[in-house]
Amino acid sequence: MASQVNQLHILLIPLMTQSHLIPFTDMAKLLARRGPTVTIVMTPLNSLRFQPFISEQTSKYRLKIQFLELPFPCRENGLPQGCENMDSLPSPDLAPNFFTACKFLQEPLEKWVREKMEFGEKPSCIISDFCLPWSENIAIKFNIPRFVFIGISVFSAVCNFKIVTSKVLERIKSDSDPFQIPDIPDEIYVTRGQLPHAKSQSTGESLNAIFNEFKASQLSADGILVNSFEELEPKYLNEYRNIKKKKIWSIGPVSYMSRDRGLDSINEHDNCSIKWLNERTKPGSVVYACFGSLSHFSSSQLKELATGLESSNHPFIWVIRKGDHYSIRRFEKWLEKENFEERVKERGLVFRGWAPQVSILNHPAVGGFLTHCGWNSTLDGVSAGLPMITWPMFAEQFHNENFIVKVLKIGVKVGVKETVENRRRDEGNDDDDQKGSPGFVTKEDIRKAIEDLMDEGDEGEERRRRAREVGEMANRTVGEGGSSFLNISLLIQHISEQSNNHQS
């Protein structure tokens, strides 16, 4: 059996955006640790970013992981040259162009598969991002088993399904009217303004057509992989299996092997954030604030966040994006003018660019996580056993907020009322008009949320106890004999059986 597994060749096809590439490369490590060869489709610029991390891991664990670099047709699809990652889109209006450009990866990928087949090396299976429906064509054309990887929470997938199929929105008159999500195990209320794509306007119809393609392509998949674990959302996994009528493997949290994630830090001992944390003597005293790769704040919101962190009187690490965007440039000038970093240096660190998130969250000095509620970050916080302050912005993040606060009961809401549509990165009037809007968060909101989360009374201690319990579950599930560990074994066994059945 071991020799048969070692002969498997798994082809991973991720969407070229950071929040999808990271779990795909994490998943590659988990699969390769069991023996198969894993090939990850990459574009040249993304390959440069991830190669050091993969090289380090393949050498350390002797993993058979390789990149397949394919050119990305930017200009042909109305994108700036070098725009190979959704994180670098100059405007959210270009999202449909980006998905169209992704379809052009199909032809060179088919050529690669055909060449492999000439040498008897056809991939044993394809695991594709659910956002890449054209991968279905390759699987059918070459008779290769195909599985779909879902990078969102099962809770949010079930909530979205129930909202759509119940037609509850037809009875809702206002974006701000709360309604209960029907037919789910917990009592959860949302508003229409908090739902995924609630703010899509100019790209609304195009995106809806794309999302319908996503759903349709899942129908022919041999199974679904989810970045979750059985103990985290058991009732929703059961419901999801009933909805999909397919084999579903929960294999998360896939980031577990990535405490030394290359994107985070190649040598964490030389990383300034880790050094700074090592100087904090009180365990659980630091708040870590990070908002992912796709979240964009106005400069006025950044100023509010800065003063909110400062006024909380708790030590903090705050990760802000690098970039030549108007709001960032304006905010950097404000930081310099206010002498902010010098003012807070004894208890605050502003970190620019990619921070070692997994390592930071697992540092004993960190006691809370201020997050945008992206699923990768949510799982990172869960795995570290930390309570969270929730600040959702778009996509399914309000669902994740409800999961953290209402279901797991390990979070405190900062108070955002509705989604904030990603703003154009080149606009120059992004500021004061946002103050007072449902998506704007004041420094008082931020200060209060931090104080509530870090509270040392009974309520705060109970929240921390639950967070620790969930973190311990996450650690057990990926260990030998844990549910996710066993599910990966069952998945590889299934791939081996399906590969034999699909031999042409």
| 261 Rama class: left (phi>0) / alpha (psi -120 to 50) / beta | beta
Q: Are the CB atoms for 416 and 371 separated by under 8 Å?
A: no
- Residue 356 is predicted with a pLDDT of 87
Tens of pLDDT, residue by residue over 176-186, are: 999 999 999 99
Beta carbons within 10 angstroms of residue 177's beta carbon: 11
Low pLDDT (below 70) residues in the chain = 1-3, 197-208, 210-211, 257-270, 323-324, 421-434, 436, 502-504
Domains in the chain, please, with CATH?
1-154+223-259+480-502 (3.40.50.2000), 268-476 (3.40.50.2000)
Q: How far is CA 273 from CA 282, 286, 357, in A?
A: 16, 12, 10
CA distance 467 to 390: 14
- Residue 422 is predicted with a pLDDT of 39
**Closest alpha carbon to 373 in 351, 406, 350, 395:** 395
Q: How far is CA 260 from CA 142, 232, 384, 402, 408, in A?
A: 37, 24, 14, 30, 27
Q: Which residue spans within 110-164 are E strands per DSSP?
A: 125-129, 146-150
Q: Are the CB atoms for 470 and 382 separated by under 8 Å?
A: yes
- Strand, coil or helix: 180: strand
Q: At residue 13, what are phi and psi to the nearest 5 degrees?
A: -125, 95
Q: Where are the alpha helices (DSSP H) in 167-222?
A: 204-218
- Residue 233 is predicted with a pLDDT of 97
- Residue 387 is predicted with a pLDDT of 98
- Residue 273 is predicted with a pLDDT of 87
**DSSP structure class, residue 348:** E
- Residue 493 is predicted with a pLDDT of 95
- Strand, coil or helix: 11: strand
Q: What is the DSSP string of 248-281?
A: EEE---GGGGGTT-TTT-SSGGG-HHHHHHHT--
- Residue 3 is predicted with a pLDDT of 65
Determine if the pTM surpasses 0.85: yes
Beta carbons within 10 angstroms of residue 58's beta carbon: 17
Tens of pLDDT, residue by residue over 313-323, are: 899 999 997 76
Contacts of 443 by beta carbon, 8 Å cutoff, 6+ apart: 304, 305, 307, 308, 311
- Residue 503 is predicted with a pLDDT of 62
